[in-house]
Amino acid sequence: MTDMSLVPAPPAPPAPALAPALGDSQPAAGLSGGTRAGEDLPIGELPIGELPIGELLVARGLLRPDQLDKALALQRKWQVRFGDIVLSQGMVRPFDFYRTLAGRFGLDFVDLMRDRPDPTLARVEHREEYARLLLLPWRRQDGRIVVATADPGPAALAFAETAYGPDAQLVVTSKFDILWSLQRTFEKEYSHEAVYGLAEMDPENSARQVVTPQQGLFLYCCLSLLLGGLAFAPIGTLVTLNVVMAVFYLGNFLLKTVLVWFGANARLVDRKVTDAEVKALRDEDLPVFTVLVPMYKEPEVLPILAAALRRLDYPMAKLDIKLVLEAGDRETIDAAKSLGLEGTFEIIRVPASKPQTKPKACNYALNFARGDYLVIFDAEDQPEPDQLKKVVIAFEKAGDQVACVQCRLNYFNANENWLTRMFTLDYSLWFDYMLPGLEQLRIPIPLGGTSNHFRMDVLKKLRSWDPFNVTEDADLGVRMTQKGYRVAVCNSTTFEEANVSIPNWVRQRSRWIKGYMQTYLVHMRHPLNLYRSVGPGGFWGFQFFVGGTMLSGVLNPIFWSFYAFWLLVGGTFLDPLFPTALLYLSLFNLLAGNGLFTYLSIIAPVKRGWMSLAPWGLTVAGYWALMSVAAYKALWQLVRNPFYWEKTQHGLSAVTKQEVAKAMASMNQ
Amino acid sequence: MTALDLAGRPSSVPPAAPATTGRHRRDLLPLGWLWFALGLLLCAGQVQWVLQAGYVTDTAADRWRTALLAASDASAFRDLFAITFPPLPLMADLLLGLLPGTGGVPLPVLVNVLAGAGLAAAWAGQIASGGYGRAVSGLAALLLLAHPALQQAIAAGDGTPLALLALTLMIPALIRVRRAGDVNAMALVGSALALMLFSAPSGAYLVLALLPALVALAPPSLMVRSVLGVLLVLLFPVLFTLGGYLYTNWIFGGSALAFAASVDAAIRGAAADLGRYPWLMLWSHDRPAGLAAVGLMLLGSVPLLPVAVARIHDRHARWTVLLLAASVLAAILIASVSRYLDHPGQMLPYLLPVLAMGAAAARPARLPASVLLLLLTLGLRGGWTAQDYAAAPAGAAWQAAMRGSVVAESAAAQDNAFGKLLRGYQDVAIDATVSGLVVPARGTAEGLLLTSTDRLKADLLAGALSSRYVAVQDPDTPRGLRDRIGRALAGVWRDGPPGATLVAAIGPWRLWRLPDRPSRP
């Protein structure tokens, strides 16, 4: 207990319009510790407790009158609390705001960074309330519990009185201090829950166990059967295997053709949410949106994201933006600070623990999220400015069953080299055609890495992301469908940086394929349950879309090798493996399958009018070869190191450097 | 494609409510079946009538025989699958041949009749989507279907009706491509081009003629970004299927151009018999006059075309219809000059889908239903006259058959009789590829030892047959000259294999029974 004396002031509830909001509250440099309300401020003679907070700020010289007018105008328009406005707009420093707020209510202001809370007072079972109400029991003083809060309203007082007795006392602190102290106090619990939350509560859906004993037995039986067959009836076994593969390829390309056909429907897909609908939205009706940006050692692309987030056409006061950084990632934390981002965005520092994966970081940050909806963006993402509004409309139109809206991803450096062109064709096909097709056919949608927008309540109910799955997004999309929810897609694009380097691309792709393997194994633990929960279309769609995507990369080189060998050597040695009907099926697969997939790559850029990319689709076979390399790497890693997160290095692109420069320029303006 | 789309609704106008569209489609569906059924009756009636008069073209006989051969033996299928051009009619024949009750039915004609019925339903739907009443649309579709050029094509048993189905799919897609660069429409155009190319030789000519038109029909907004990209999107299906076809020729036929032999033979055959083809003799060489003749035939056969083009308000639809009509004309000229086309009437059916879409795009306000039906009726008469002008033998025979004259040729009758005779015999060695109507008349190739089998190949190499019977043709006839058994075993037609006894002789055909052997494989 410090020797600081606190004047017990009657906690008069503030007027609702003046109730402080949950903006961001990083303390400024040189911040002093606990101070008496009004101390060092030239307002001794002002009638504290009567002036509205805005006028108090003006009177103290912390806010200009024109800023006050602007803030009040925004408040009327957005229908949010005044504090949210001035903090989100950067009109007032959080420290100044909260100190003034304390004075407004005659409460003391404490700096939890200097005068740390007594860790024995906080209760684990109250963690959620602490984060939601932005409060934390600070210290015991004169037999009473003093509760520090960044939102000294009736709710905080009621909670304090209920939890700590009717004589509990409030003091004011900044939001940053609350969140920071919460993380420090409950680091172990938050961390444990982030890692093991799903595995403990819903182990059947966790990839913590790569292969279940039953699956192991099944695989063992299959392998035994195969080896036995090869030993006693080699031709029959190989023909059977060949038939299975041929049917798999046929199903794979037929499904993808149907998906593209449905996904190409412009009226249903590309005009799902119109500009007119976006314009018709009223700011006051918009919900609070949490934006999570998990990053790791990516300081170089941070300006792109910061600029893009500031360009969002959404009331800043209704954005709860969190940069989710690893505690040891000093370079990114420092970069964020040097850009002044801590004034607008919250920085969540995730303590080190294994597995060190993006989903674990997101799970950790989720404890502090306060939005009705939540979206994940990557560090170099540039979402279209109206994306959040489109998503709100998409949710409204889709109904309660839809728990997630996936926006499209594409690249801002498409024309940089062959790989970026092919990657762009790949993403265009995936997000512009196939995912909309999956949505229309009610097949589980494996979510893409970013720009997936969730309903917060459902996300938390489903125990959020699986930290043991390296494509946690894909897994979550399938899990949502299994649990009776749906995933929708939306016609808004987030632009990212396409990989410019092949080794970097292989690392990234191998992680994705490994994640698909994990996802497939998790959801195929009980095939009958999957069948019942997603229906026959969803079940077979899952087999061919998720299973097919990973398996084709593994199988292709085998068939290419056979084919190349046959072309070179000729002869009839393969004839026994291809009875007449199978021969024609295989020939059809060879011609129609390759032709079709090449054609899909050619038409992929048409929706966006990027016709100059279409001819590059002819070279897609080279891209398939790279995918096979990644698939084998993924298979190897699944066995050796299933939870290892292959980090994708961003910022390598020359275009990205230009984008960073542009972003820096826009931020300086 | 909805009615509003066809009417050229400005893109800013919101689309019709889905419920309305759904109801509209549901309403149209039973009527679609009605027009299909009526189209089926019309085509089947016409075909039945001319078949009774003995009208079977060489094309139909070849296609029918090929289908039966391919269905009977894996090796025959493999050979024919690769080298038959166009391959799609063969596929359709084979599929239909799998249906019970199709034995003895001329499969190519059956396929064409079904395709004709499909055309009636599709055209009725398209015309109705332009705003015409259901009855008017159906009647107009049936009038289009009844056009002599199309009916002759259906009876002739070539792949033109299948190519017309592809063109019918393609035209509305082409308008959507022109208007909005719609992805599905572009893919549909590409696929339809591939289908046309492999449905009929005339379709291949039309694809050739359409190539320059595609540049003008592609959406300008996309063309300015990349001409190559747009053309690739439109043409890749054709190019890839062509490549795939050449590949299968190489795999199964030994050469990527194995199919060309039959195409070349068809053209050479026609050229060798020029005297019977007034169009090839006269008009195909005199281009201005030929062009004028085609123009007059066109005006007479499809008087609706210029009227519809003039009445279409939507510039995208008008431009598309105009260019497609010009492409058909260009295809006729190219095919005539290359001496493939023995009469323009053979390709006039390609204007019929253009007419259907043209009428729909013109809409009743600018092209009243009465005018539409009147012009279509006039087209029937004009088409009949045009078909008669400088007619090729097949065309003349069809007209004669339609008038009730018997047109069966003696060779066909002999093939027919010999084929019926063979129904009672099994294990008969025969070169079926040059057997005319024998196999169709027999009803199946099961029980025949074909030249595609390893067994007969080995026998011919060894110079001794292992079958119970052998059927050969007179080597002095054109077909007999090409009979591989007769060529491999000199004198087999005249004297039979050693120890064989003559079972039957009908026309050029002889059936020999080989002596029994103790150890026949």
SS (H, E, C) A312-354: CCCCHHHEEEEEEEECCCHHHHHHHHHCCHHHCCEEEEECCCC
Q: Which CA distances in Å does B59 have to A620, B106, B400, B477?
A: 41, 12, 18, 19
Q: Flag whether B22 is in a domain.
A: no
Q: Comparing C-alpha atoms, which of A613, A421, A599, A258 is closest to residue B235?
A: A599
- Mutation target among B5, B79, B184 for the A interface, most CBs of A within 10 A: B184
Distance CA B478, CA B475 (A): 8
Query: Do B384 and B427 have their domain in common?
Result: no
Query: Do B177 and B279 have their domain in common?
Result: yes
pLDDT tens-place string over residues A520-543: 999 999 999 999 999 999 999 999
| The pair of three-digit structure tokens given for residue A77, joined into one six-digit string | 């328009």
Asked if B226 reaches chain A (Cβ–Cβ under 8 Å), the answer is: yes
Over the range A382-397, which residues count as b (16 or more CB within 10 Å of their CB) and which as e? bbbbbbbbbbbbbbee
Please tell me the distance in Å from B441's CA to the nearest CA on chain A: 28
Answer whether A612 sits within 8 Å of B230, measured CB to CB.
no
| C-alpha of A188 from chain center | 23
Among B361, B380, B403, identify where a domain stops: B403
Query: Do B417 and B398 have their domain in common?
Result: no
Assess contact for B73 and B452: CB atoms under 8 A.
yes
B10 pLDDT more than 70 = no
Tokens 């893109």, located at residue: B11
Q: What is the pLDDT of residue A34?
A: 34
Q: What is the pLDDT of residue B235?
A: 96
Distance CA B509, CA B480 (A): 9
Residue of B nearest to A584 (CA): B78
Q: Comparing C-alpha atoms, which of B102, B96, B120 is closest to residue B37?
A: B120
Residue B41's contacts (CB-CB under 8 Å, 6 or more residues apart) are none
CB-closest option in B226, B241, B248 to A611? B226
Q: Chain A residues with CB inside 8 Å of B190's CB? A: 599
For every residue of A10-65, DSSP letters joined together read: --PPPPGGG-------PPPTT--SSB-TTTT-S-TTS-TTTS-HHHHHHHTTSS-H
Give the residue-averaged pLDDT of B326-338: 89
Number of domains in chain B: 2
Distance CA A605, CA A433 (A): 10
Distance CA B280, CA B336 (A): 7
CB-closest option in B74, B221, B229 to A615? B229
B117 pLDDT more than 70 = yes
Answer whether B237 sits within 8 Å of A599, measured CB to CB.
yes
Q: Flag whether B292 is in a domain.
A: yes
Give the residue-averaged pLDDT of B341-348: 88
CB-closest option in B74, B232, B247 to A602? B232
Answer whether B225 sits within 8 Å of A264, measured CB to CB.
no
Neighbours of A278 (CB within 10 A): 17
Among B403, B434, B451, identify where a domain stops: B403
Residue A559's contacts (CB-CB under 8 Å, 6 or more residues apart) are A245
Average pLDDT along chain B: 87
Answer whether A614 sits within 8 Å of B247, measured CB to CB.
no
Answer whether A612 sits within 8 Å of B226, measured CB to CB.
yes
Query: Do B383 and B439 have their domain in common?
Result: no
Please tell me the distance in Å from B326's CA to the nearest CA on chain A: 28
Query: Do B386 and B467 have their domain in common?
Result: no
Q: What is the pLDDT of residue A13?
A: 35
Alpha helices in B302-350 (DSSP H): 304-311, 315-337
Q: What is the pLDDT of residue B331?
A: 94
| The pair of three-digit structure tokens given for residue A177, joined into one six-digit string | 């201090």
Please tell me the distance in Å from A294's CA to the nearest CA on chain B: 36
Answer whether B244 sits within 8 Å of A595, measured CB to CB.
yes
Cα end-to-end span (Å), chain B: 61
Asked if B181 reaches chain A (Cβ–Cβ under 8 Å), the answer is: yes
Q: What is the pLDDT of residue B519?
A: 52
Q: What is the pLDDT of residue A366?
A: 94
| The pair of three-digit structure tokens given for residue B182, joined into one six-digit string | 């719609």
pLDDT tens-place string over residues B81-109: 778 889 999 999 999 988 888 877 899 99
Q: How would you list the strands of the sheet with A346-350, edge to edge?
A: A346-350, A319-326, A289-295, A373-376, A452-455, A402-411, A486-496, A382-383
Neighbours of A6 (CB within 10 A): 20
Answer whether B183 sits within 8 Å of A606, measured CB to CB.
yes
Q: Flag whether B3 is in a domain.
A: no
Q: Flag whether B314 is in a domain.
A: yes
Q: Chain A residues with CB inside 8 Å of B229's CB? A: 605, 611-615
Residue of B nearest to A591 (CA): B244
Q: What is the ipTM of this complex?
A: 0.86
Portion 231-260 of B in contact with A at CB < 8 A = 232-233, 236-237, 240-241, 244, 247-248, 251
E strand or H helix that includes residue B429: strand B428-430
What confidence tier does B414 reach under pLDDT thresholds 50, 70, 90?
A: very high
Q: What is the pLDDT of residue A5?
A: 33
Among B386, B403, B420, identify where a domain stops: B403
Query: Do B395 and B414 have their domain in common?
Result: no
Q: What is the pLDDT of residue B273?
A: 67
Answer whether B229 sits within 8 Å of A266, measured CB to CB.
no
Q: What is the pLDDT of residue A538?
A: 94
CA angle A605, A611, A616 (to 5 degrees): 75
Residue B74's contacts (CB-CB under 8 Å, 6 or more residues apart) are A580
Q: What is the pLDDT of residue A344?
A: 67
Tokens 């069953």, located at residue: A401
Each domain of chain A, given as residue ranges in start order, spans 16-185, 186-284+367-669
Q: What is the pLDDT of residue A573?
A: 79
Where in the sequence is the domain holding B343, given as residue range(s)? 31-256+273-403
Asked if B74 reaches chain A (Cβ–Cβ under 8 Å), the answer is: yes
Give the residue-averaged pLDDT of B29-48: 92
E strand or H helix that includes residue A147: strand A144-149
Q: Flag whether B267 is in a domain.
A: no
Q: What is the pLDDT of residue B341?
A: 82
Give the residue-averaged pLDDT of B357-382: 95
Q: Chain B residues with CB inside 8 Å of A261's CB? A: 184, 187
Q: Which of B265 and A102 is assigned the larger pLDDT? A: A102
Residue of B nearest to A566 (CA): B251
Q: What is the pLDDT of residue B44?
A: 97
pLDDT tens-place string over residues A76-106: 998 888 988 998 888 998 889 999 999 888 8
Q: Flag whether B174 is in a domain.
A: yes
Alpha helices in A407-484 (DSSP H): 418-427, 435-440, 456-461, 472-482
Query: Do B355 and B436 have their domain in common?
Result: no
Q: What is the pLDDT of residue A571?
A: 75
Q: What are the residues facing A320 on neighbouring strands?
A: A290
A325 φ, ψ (degrees, to nearest 5): -120, 150
Q: What is the pLDDT of residue A338?
A: 80
Query: Do B97 and B142 have their domain in common?
Result: yes
Asked if A613 reaches chain B (Cβ–Cβ under 8 Å), the answer is: yes
Q: What is the pLDDT of residue A601?
A: 96
Please tell me the distance in Å from B469's CA to the nearest CA on chain A: 28
Q: What is the dihedral of CA B97, B98, B102, B105, to 10 degrees?
A: 10
CB-closest option in B225, B241, B248 to A612? B225
Query: Do B59 and B43 have their domain in common?
Result: yes
Q: What HEC string does A361-423 produce?
A: HHHHHHCCCCCCEEEECCCCCEECCCHHHHHHHHHHHHCCCEEEEEEEEEECCCCCCHHHHHH
Asked if B425 reaches chain A (Cβ–Cβ under 8 Å), the answer is: no
CATH pick for A16-185 out of 2.160.10.10, 3.30.2020.10, 3.30.300.160, 3.40.50.300: 3.30.300.160
Distance CA A580, CA A263 (A): 35
Q: Chain A residues with CB inside 8 Å of B222's CB? A: 606, 609, 611
Q: What is the dihedral of CA A163, A166, A168, A174, to 10 degrees?
A: 70
Answer whether B181 sits within 8 Å of A614, measured CB to CB.
no
Q: Chain B residues with CB inside 8 Å of A588's CB? A: none
Residue B15's contacts (CB-CB under 8 Å, 6 or more residues apart) are A267, B2, B4
B283 pLDDT more than 80 = no
Q: Which CA distances in Å does A367 have to A375, A423, B484?
A: 14, 35, 85
Q: Flag whether B155 is in a domain.
A: yes
Three-class SS of residue A472? Answer: helix
Task: Tell whether the torsion through CA atoms of A434, A435, A439 and A443 is positive or negative.
Answer: positive
Answer whether B240 sits within 8 Å of A265, measured CB to CB.
no
Q: Which residues of chain A have pLDDT under 50?
A: 1-48
Q: Chain A residues with CB inside 8 Å of B248's CB? A: 587, 591
For every residue of B70-102, DSSP letters joined together read: HHH-HHHHHHHHHH-SSHHHHHHHHHHHTSTT-
Q: Flag whether B293 is in a domain.
A: yes
